[in-house]
Amino acid sequence: MKLIWCIDTGDRSAGGLRDVYGEGGNLIVETYNSDVIFDNQGSAVPGASCCSKTYTRAVYQWTGVSYQLIEAKRYDNPLNFGAYPIDNHKRIK
């Protein structure tokens, strides 16, 4: 066995890993985004590290040597973070 590619991810909403899967011959890596909220003075402050409201879906294509990023888009995160994992699983089926 030989490692052909690796990627760093963060923790929870600080770039934490959401999902990894193959689609149409490409590798899809989804990571949570650090949300920013604004206080009543209009200053940006980090959101809760447990409950990211968005994630990035990155599409990588194999070049024959390594994976190359071909697209990255931000999406709303539909999961209910207050629920147990089985509740979230039911929601996305």
The helix, strand and coil proportions of the chain, stated in percent and rounded to the nearest 5, come to 10, 45, 45
Instruction: Tell me what pLDDT residue 80 has.
Output: 55
Is 48 among the domain residues? Answer: yes
Q: Domain range holding 62?
A: 17-92
Is 59 among the domain residues? Answer: yes
Instruction: Tell me what pLDDT residue 7 has.
Output: 80
CA nearest to 60, candidates 2, 6, 1: 6
Is 12 among the domain residues? Answer: no
Instruction: Tell me what pLDDT residue 34 has.
Output: 76
Q: How many domains does the chain have?
A: 1
Is 3 among the domain residues? Answer: no
**In the predicted model, is pLDDT for residue 89 greater than 80?**
no
What pTM value is reported for the model?
Answer: 0.67
Is 44 among the domain residues? Answer: yes
